């Protein structure tokens, strides 16, 4: 049962363009929504995160938009650079003592020079 759905599966963007990755969740028992960036051969690394009481969070070129009523959130990468080429995972953290993350299926982003 997939509780976090992510799209698109892959994305190709020109340098300087805007990359947009979308996620939707099906379970309301989440209290925190991080995005992870993963380069080949490396572990996922926390990129940016948002709590559901906030509609937008911006850190540098990265912005999360969160729509609680629609149960959707998205990552925007402004002025995309070739160095941003990686796999991006959205995730949702479960409420409760365990706090485990449920991940989306990932988006492979390629930024062309």
Partner 1 sequence: DSGVTQTPKHLITATGQRVTLRCSPRSGDLSVYWYQQSLDQGLQFLIQYYNGEERAKGNILERFSAQQFPDLHSELNLSSLELGDSALYFCASSVAGTLNTEAFFGQGTRLTVV
Contacting positions for partner 1 (CB under 8 A) = 31-32, 34, 36, 41-46, 49, 51, 89, 97-106
DSSP 97: S
Q: How far is CA 22 from the centre of its chain?
A: 7
| Nearest-approach distance from CB 50 to partner 1, in angstroms | 12
* Least distance to partner 1, CB of residue 105, Å: 5
Residue whose CB is less far from partner 1, 18 or 46: 46
Classify strands 19-25 and 72-77 as parallel, antiparallel or unpaired.
antiparallel
CA 39-75-19 angle, 5° bins: 75
- Smaller CB separation from partner 1, 15 or 68: 68
Query: Which strand (E) or helix (H) includes residue 44?
Result: none
Q: How far is the CB of 79 from partner 1 (least distance, A)?
A: 26
């Amino acid at each position: 049962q997939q509780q976090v759905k992510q799209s698109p599966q892959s994305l190709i963007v020109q340098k300087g363009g805007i990359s947009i990755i979308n996620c939707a969740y099906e379970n309301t028992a989440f209290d925190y929504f991080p995005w992870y960036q993963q380069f080949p051969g490396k572990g996922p690394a926390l990129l940016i995160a948002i709590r559901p009481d906030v509609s937008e969070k911006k850190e540098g070129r990265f912005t999360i938009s969160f729509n609680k009523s629609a149960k959707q959130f998205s990552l925007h990468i402004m002025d995309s650079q070739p160095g941003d080429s990686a796999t991006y995972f959205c995730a949702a953290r479960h409420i409760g003592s365990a706090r485990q993350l449920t991940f989306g299926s990932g988006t492979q982003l390629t930024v062309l020079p």
